[in-house]
Amino acid sequence: MTPSHLLSRADLDFLLHDWLAVSDLCARPRYADHSRETIDAVVDLSAELAEKYFAPHNRKSDLHEPRLVGQDVELIPEIGEALERFAAADLVGAAMDAEVGGMQLPYTAYLACMAWFYAANVSTAAYPLLTTGNANLLLAHGSDEQIERYVRPMIEGRFTGTMC
C-alpha cells in the first residue's frame, strides 16, 4: 500500500494488532471467518476507497451542500459514486451479522476502516455512518418485516439512513 496523506497505516496497525490484539477476537465463534489477513484486507480496501472516492471531493462537498429542489435532494455526483463504491465493498454491514448480509467483522476493525473515511471526507462518510446507525437500531428493536424491508436495502446500498 502506498503511503497515505490521510492516516498512518503503521500507527493504525500498531493500535489494531499490537495494542488491541484485534486478531485475538478471531478465536471467538462469531469472528471465526476472520484473521489478521482478512482484517488487514478490509482496512486496505477502506484506505483505497477513501483515498480514491471520498477525499477528492472533500472541499467540493463543503462548498456545494445538499439542496432541496422540489421534492428531491440534490447532491454533487461524487457523493453518489463514493456511496456506491462503499456499499459495493459490503462496508455498510461490515460489523453486522452474516444472517442479515453483514460480514461480522469485529467492531474494532470496522472502526479502523471507518477512520479512513472520516479522515478523507467526514461529510460524505456521514451517510454510511447514519445508515449503519439506522440499520443497527432496526436490528435491535425492529420487527422481522422491518428488517427485511429496510435493513437489507440499507446494507445493499439501495437505502440510506437519516438523522431526524
pLDDT digits (tens, 9 = 90+) for 104-157: 999 999 999 999 999 999 999 999 999 999 999 999 999 999 999 999 999 999
Distance CA 125, CA 132 (A): 11
pLDDT at 142: 97
Give 9-121's CATH code, choosing from 2.40.40.20, 3.20.20.70, 1.10.540.10, 1.10.10.60: 1.10.540.10
Q: How confident is the model at residue 5 (pLDDT cuts 50, 70, 90)?
A: confident
User: What are the percentages of helix, strand and coil residues in the chain, rounded to 5?
Assistant: 65, 5, 30
Domains of the chain, residue spans: 9-121
Cell for 131?
445508515
- Please state, as a whole number, how many other Cβ atoms lie within 10 Å of the Cβ of residue 136: 16
27-63: pLDDT as tens digits: 999 999 999 999 999 999 999 999 999 999 999 999 9
SS3 68: strand
pLDDT at 2: 65
